[in-house]
Amino acid sequence: MNLILLGPPGAGKGTQAKRLQQAYGLVQLATGDMVRAAIASGSELGQRVKAIYDAGQLVPDDIIIQMIAERIAQPESARGFILDGFPRTVPQAEALDAMLAEHGQKLDHVILMEVDEAALVDRISGRFTCPQCGASYHERYNRPKIEGRCDICGGTELVHRADDRPEAVATRLAAYRNQTAPILPYYRARGILRSVDGMADIDEVAREIEAVIAGGGEARSAMHR
């Protein structure tokens, strides 16, 4: 099974991707984590994209497409993957189709997580993350089970992201509206776009996503959005 989690910054894509990874044995392919890893490594590519990332702008399509193509080509992706943060532009969506065709794969679900903008800002401002595995926590809504320790990988260096500053968040929300929302009609036209209520609590959102995957349940069709 291959699926895309779509939604604005802070919608909960990463949180739900980690759960799906554990529940279904899928591979999480998170382009934001890939960009952060490149920056942390200090590579030439990382240095090229750091200012773009810190400002909250989208990294150029060719760089992102190359990153994801390398991961989709790996044997572990053959057992199914969750795309988290990709595609984010129409050219990226088209490139994904070409990659899937090349590997004889298809998309099973595109799940849009809908969240009010005020809630997004609240979520992002209270977020802290594990740089080791990309897990997200929140000071009020989602604390780690053991204070200061990542539930997923045990990492103890939980940090605030450089692009979670208010100015960068405003730029990221604008990028979502202007560059990412235009891919919704692309998937709607193919009849594989469904939406879930991302305002619900984390467990409820997970249940809605499971219902979409199971092919029924409470999830709302996004045909008219």
Where does this chain bind ligand AP5 (CB under 6 A)? 7, 9-15, 31-32, 35, 52-53, 56-59, 64, 85-86, 88, 92, 123-124, 126-127, 136-138, 141-142, 163, 172, 201-202, 205
Of the pair 70, 191, the CB lying nearest ligand AP5 is at 70
3-state SS string for 191-211? CCEEEEECCCCHHHHHHHHHH
Determine which one of 13, 36, 188, 194 is catalytic. Answer: 13
The residue with its CB nearest to ligand AP5 is 32
SS3 89: coil
CB 59 within 8 A of CB 49: yes
CA distances from 120 to 2, 82, 158, 202 (A): 26, 21, 20, 14
Question: Is 79 labeled as catalytic in the residue annotation?
Answer: no
Q: Of 108, 122, 113, 58, give the one whose Cα is nearest residue 87.
A: 58
Determine which one of 71, 172, 188, 194 is catalytic. Answer: 172
Of the pair 118, 224, the CB lying nearest ligand AP5 is at 118
Question: Is 172 labeled as catalytic in the residue annotation?
Answer: yes
Question: Is 50 labeled as catalytic in the residue annotation?
Answer: no
Active site residues: 13, 88, 127, 161, 172
